[in-house]
Amino acid sequence: MPEIEESVSISRPPQEVFDVVSNPENIPMFDSSVIHTELIGGGPVGVGTRFRGTSKVLGRSFDWTAEIVEHDPPRRSTSKSVEGKLDFTVSMTCEAEDGGTRLTQRIEAASGLGGIFGRIGDPLVEKVQARTVRANLESLAEYLAEHPHP
């Protein structure tokens, strides 16, 4: 199972960072590969919340539906795909660090991130996606430093 894991320090408290990254409607704000997301149904975000979205990977768009399978504020939130061509699990972990937060994003893709392009594409897609995840986290850290969320 291919995995990507990247971390970044954010100069905001863990609860504030968690509130932003655990809300599915905020994903396009900090993940440049996600074009849009929307919650399915109502109610507060937590275990069992489903949401749908569209991702663009190497120029191709993919629709998916995911479900939150772990929601432990302000520490960890995990979502798993339940429909679509992309088979993934994404975990966001917030840990207190030097007056701020260490945010770690971990992506596991059951079929390989390049599987949608063929096995030969796995190493290329994984390398590109790892760089994208790192850049996304750095952009989020900069954004939250300049625009604190209540």
Q: Which long-range contacts (CB under 8 A, 24 or more apart) does 37-40 make?
A: 40/65
Structure tokens at 136: 């996304």
CA distance readout (Å), 53 to 10, 56, 78, 112? 26, 10, 16, 19
**pLDDT tens digits, residue range 67-86?**
999 999 999 999 999 999 88
Return the CATH architecture of domain 3-146.
2-Layer Sandwich (3.30)
| This prediction's pTM | 0.87
Phi, then psi, of 134 in degrees rounded to 5: -60, -50
Residue 60 is predicted with a pLDDT of: 83
In the predicted model, residues of the chain with pLDDT beneath 70 are: 1, 110-122, 124-125, 150
Question: pLDDT value at position 150?
Answer: 65
Per-domain residue ranges of the chain: 3-146
